Structure 1
């Protein structure tokens, strides 16, 4: 055999070995990805507000309900409440994503729960409670249907992550940079004021703190949106299969979603323009004590405005009148935000509900 032929055979042999090695690696990566996705995937049967499922292959705008649960917080193992909820609407044609925070204390109808003998709501009646009670009472299904009813828009997909998962994910992406406005210590973790890169443990306390924040839960939700949006940007910037594998392994025990692997790839490939502009908004009301429990009472006009923001983002028709208002439901309660009078004792608020009785509220309650 000539020297030239031997060289060619050696080169071919090396190429075969390299191709074989790459093939084995890709098969292993795909197998690991399949295992992680299989572990994370949890399909939930719920009543949707769409007549047809959204088609991601066509680049249609869609919504994802993000739920941060407290199951893994402080050693909890039982199903807790949804400590934070965001309805994210993604529209690649508008090149915009809107992250809408939903206050956990919002007084709203819990869809699908009818009450029992131990509750002040009789069987068969509509049941009202804090928004975050939906997850505790009926899991992901009840949480999704409750948010759909409250916001009058479809929830197309969901992602649920517990507190341990957030910590692990932040560590996996190499930390998140923030500009902390308030120096505080929570559960033995101290956060100084100013710019810094937070690891998972510090990021978890950053999104949990509210008592030291003058804005309370509103401030906390703003920090939650900040951390989540920065995590999303980091994930979208990844171009390495190895890194994707690392992230999946980090969160596979803490995340549940109904998105398939192919849908995730479609979103990562075709929906990146929607990350060019990320807007943040919040659904909140006025604080009020009902039966010695703190609630956020939503404003009639504010809720309608927030609903229409989401509808425009999802290319759905807007409405001029709040669809949630039911004259026959005496358990409803909304803040009449179009009727605010200034009086000497402070701002005077009227609430409509509970048989359409108006409730004047003293400013000291806020």
Structure 2
């Protein structure tokens, strides 16, 4: 399904554009110093120099296809938490296209470094960002060049910083003491977080919840990229600096914004097919090998990696 079809997919490049579009607006308003300070605060490198799935060093200057892993983490006090959301994004500037894949959090796969199979989102609880990246790479057989980790508990700060968001709710539901009627609704930070967390009363389960997360992120992008919201840029930057971490440097972000922004003209959302199954009383999402291989091949082709 192409992501330019339907309102639920107007979010362009999810959290990456939240960062890059706001950065682009910053240059126009000469706020370079404050943005650089925020990006430096967000910067959290990982130990490896490059993915083992890449034979050669990635060159942003040459406009080579790149990949990101968006990790939405439910972190509580004194608890590392688990990956609440895993979204793989690949950008091919030559084709001017983006592919996005949401990996269901309950997907059963081998956890790199643990020697056992488990839910893919548990990789974060076991070994943080690096184990999560390694596990996703092994699952899809593609490189992950960059990660962007968003603290979902602090997600509400970002929503409040842009002055709240408006979304179109597909069906009415109640969650954690809040009522969410069907239709257009306006959310502050607390309500937005609850809106994106509800899963069990959604007829589409985790897939429906992922769509609601994308709705809210789309609304953040729309307001964050607008001129009117830039008057609150200090609050926006403070919220992003506190709740977002990435291995991208400030210079790498500048290169990506300059050389890859045209990829936004064609966005395709991939959905991984599978079925739920209980094992020893625990629910897993089982992806058939042929399905995993098909998705892997699509992403490899988009990244110009030999099949």
Mark yes or no: TM-score above 0.5. Answer: yes
What's the counterpart of residue 330 of structure 1?
none
Structure with the greater alpha carbon radius of gyration: 1
Structure 2 counterparts to residues 237-276 of structure 1, below 5 A:
245-276=234-265
2:272 counterpart (241, 263, 283)? 283
Q: Give 1:282 deviation, angstroms.
A: 2.4
Q: Which has the higher contact order (CA 8 A, sep 6+)?
A: 2
What does residue 133 of structure 2 align with? 144
Aligned residue in 1 for 2:64 = 60
**Structure 1 residue 31: deviation in Å?**
4.3
Closer, same or farther in 2 for the Cα pair 1:172/1:266, shift >3 Å? farther
- Structure 1 distance, partners of 2:303, 2:109, is 23
> Contact 2:87–2:101 (CA<8 Å) still a contact in 1?
yes
- 2:12 paired residue number: none
Corresponding residue number in structure 2 for 1:222: 211
Shift of 1:293: 0.8
CA contact (8 A) 1:225 1:280 kept: no
Could you tell me whether the CA contact under 8 Å between 1:165 and 1:251 is conserved in 2? no
What residue number does 2:79 align with? 78
Residue in 2 that maps onto 1:347: none
1:42-57 pair list within 5 angstroms: 42-46=44-48, 48=51, 49-57=53-61
- 1:124-273 matches, cutoff 5 A: 126-232=115-221, 235=224, 245-273=234-262
* Further displaced range: 291-300 or 149-158: 291-300
Match of 2:19 in 1: none
In the superposition, relative to structure 1, how do residues 99 and 245 fare at CA in structure 2: closer, same or farther (>3 Å)?
farther
CA distance in 1 between partners of 2:305 and 2:225 (Å): 27
Deviation of residue 132 (structure 1)? 0.7
State the TM-score, normalized to the length of structure 1.
0.69
Deviation at 1:176, TM superposition (A): 3.5
Kindly indicate whether the alpha-carbon contact (under 8 Å) linking 1:236 and 1:268 is maintained by their aligned counterparts in 2: no
For residue 285 of structure 1, report the CA deviation from its aligned partner: 1.8
What's 1:351 paired with? none
Supply the RMSD in Å over aligned alpha carbons: 2.4
Between stretches 137-146 and 37-46, larger displacement belongs to 37-46
* Contact 1:62-1:91 at 8 Å conserved across structures: yes
- Normalising by structure 2, we get a TM-score of 0.82
1:6-31 alpha-carbon deviations (Å, 9 max, x no partner) = xxxxxxxxxxxxxxxxxxx96xx544
Looking at structure 2, the residues matched to 261 and 225 of structure 1 have their Cα atoms a distance apart, in angstroms, of 25
Are the counterparts in 2 of residues 63 and 87 from structure 1 also a CA contact under 8 Å? yes
**Residues 63-106 of structure 1: CA deviation (Å, up to 9, x unaligned):** 1100011104xxx4410100111001112222222220001111
Provide structure 1 residue ranges, at least 5 long, that are not aligned to the other structure: 1-24, 114-125, 319-366
Secondary structure in 1 aligned to 2:159? helix
CA distance in 2, matches of 1:315, 1:304: 16
The reply to whether residue 87 of structure 1 matches residue 88 of structure 2 is yes
Cα deviation digits, residues 37-86 of structure 1 (max 9, x gap): 222111012471112232222222111100011104xxx44101001110
